[in-house]
Amino acid sequence: MPQLASPDSIAGFAVGSQSADSGGTGVAPPGEDSYVARVIVDVMLKPEIHDPQGEAVLSASHRLGFGNMTRVRQGKRFELEIDGPADGPALAAIEELSRELLANPVIEEFSLHVTE
């Protein structure tokens, strides 16, 4: 059976909460040596994939009086903190991680967002 890597050993990704810096830009506060950036990975079902959970939420929203809802799609959000800047190589690594681990490319698509 293959060994699974711990989350904090995957391509230099740090696990834990971000320190109180200047709004999540990855700039270390004065007196700290580390540089942490946050990248959001949103994973959604592809538009052509049936979404029963989204349909259940839509139906429940109508029962609760939110009749103006016309469509609901369910998805996942991952907040990744990385040690270092969210530059080209780091984003390429996160894209690879998303493709191989976070999303099922057969039925899901994903997008990356660097938070400010």
- Assigned domain for 1 exists: no
pLDDT at 1: 35
Task: Identify whether 43 is part of a domain.
Answer: yes
Dist CA 16 CA 72 (whole Å):
31
Coil, strand or helix at 85: coil
Question: What is the per-residue pLDDT for 58?
Answer: 97
Whole-number Cα distances in Å, 96 to 26, 66, 76, 89, 93: 21, 39, 17, 11, 5
- 69 inside domain: yes
Residue 71: which domain range?
A: 7-26+34-114
Instruction: Tell me the average confidence (pLDDT) per consecutive run of 10 residues in the chain, 116 residues long.
Output: 37 36 48 80 97 97 96 97 94 97 97 90
Strands (E), the chain: 13-14, 36-45, 75-83, 108-114
Q: Considering the domain boundaries, does residue 109 fall inside one?
A: yes
**What's the number of domains the chain is made of?**
1
96, part of any domain: yes
Domain presence at residue 99: yes
> What's the pLDDT at 35?
80
Distance between CA atoms of residues 30 and 92, nearest Å: 29
Q: Residue 102 falls within a domain, yes or no?
A: yes
Whether 2 is covered by a domain: the verdict is no
CATH code, domain carrying 104: 3.30.1280.10
Q: Whose structure tokens read 């080209």? A: 88
- pLDDT value, residue 26: 54
